[in-house]
């Protein structure tokens, strides 16, 4: 169960910089830090040669100038891709970051990450294990460890076995009546749910069961206020400058 009070900041910038920068890039992290945001969310997967790096999709086309499945590319090739131009030409040449680079940038900026472990198909247990081990090592001396999260129970179980001291959160696409039971079975300390699913009754029940809660993806300040008043611990937003 989560410590009281929950130690993580309330506001997380979605995919590092929200809508203001190319997603899952250090440019986004730096922008979030300039805004005063002290927590960020990002997506982590493995290259073909097992390097943890930041990317949301299973394929490269949407956010880079690469092509095909990300899991088929070694890190040396992924590192050369342009992950900024798709957002705006001002970010041309912005690279995909390795998890190690994220750690090296987060700690001097006093920013803590929620690492959403997002495995490519068929690599769930491997990705959960390798990302958890890397996170444990990279943030060993940080005052607050990264929060690990995933939609995949297999990922979370592998992460728990590899680095049991790192806190974990179960992500759900929609409200499920057995959400607390699912989290308990995985040893998760938090639940991350779409903001639309979080009613007063549901928040009270989950908080009463001892879970910290994140609402995603909250961009309206009025909704942010409502959720905060209900007791939601964390808000993940594409528009951190509004919240």
Output the six-digit token pair for 76. 């040396």
Nearest CA to 102 among 142, 64, 151, 65?
142
Partnered with residue 40 across adjacent β-strands are: 13, 113
Q: What is the dihedral of CA 166, 78, 26, 28, to 10 degrees?
A: -100
Q: What is the largest CA-CA distance in the chain?
A: 49
Nearest CA to 168 among 143, 188, 184?
188
Output the six-digit token pair for 242. 């509004």
Continuous segment of H or E residues that includes residue 116: strand 112-117
Phi, psi of 234 (to 5 degrees): -140, 140
Q: How far apart are CA 9 and CA 182, in angstroms?
A: 24
Contacts of 158 (CB under 8 A, 6+ apart): 124, 125, 126, 127, 128, 129, 132
Known catalytic residues are 14, 56
CA angle centred on 121, ends 48 and 52, rounded to 5°: 40
Output the six-digit token pair for 2. 């989560």
């Amino acid at each position: 169960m989560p410590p009281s009070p929950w130690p993580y900041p309330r506001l997380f910038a979605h995919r590092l910089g929200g809508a203001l920068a190319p997603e899952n890039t250090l440019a986004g992290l730096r922008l979030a830090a300039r805004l005063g945001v002290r927590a960020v969310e990002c997506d982590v997967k493995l290259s073909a040669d097992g390097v943890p790096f930041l990317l949301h999709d299973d394929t490269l086309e949407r956010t880079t100038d690469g092509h095909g499945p990300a899991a088929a590319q070694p890190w040396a090739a992924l590192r050369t891709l342009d992950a900024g131009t798709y957002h705006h030409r001002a970010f041309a040449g912005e690279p995909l970051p390795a998890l190690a680079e994220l750690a090296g940038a987060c700690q001097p900026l006093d920013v803590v990450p929620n690492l959403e472990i997002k495995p490519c198909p068929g690599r769930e247990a491997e990705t959960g294990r390798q990302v958890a081990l890397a996170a444990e090592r990279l943030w060993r001396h940080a005052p607050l460890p990264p929060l690990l999260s995933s939609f995949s129970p297999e990922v979370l179980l592998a992460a728990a076995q590899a680095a049991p001291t790192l806190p974990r959160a179960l992500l759900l696409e929609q409200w499920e009546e057995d959400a607390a039971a699912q989290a308990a079975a995985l040893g998760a300390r938090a639940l991350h749910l779409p903001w639309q699913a979080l009613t007063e009754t549901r928040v009270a029940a989950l908080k009463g069961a001892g879970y910290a809660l994140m609402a995603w993806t909250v961009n309206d300040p009025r909704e942010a206020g409502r959720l905060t008043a209900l007791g939601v611990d964390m808000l993940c937003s594409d528009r951190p400058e509004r919240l």
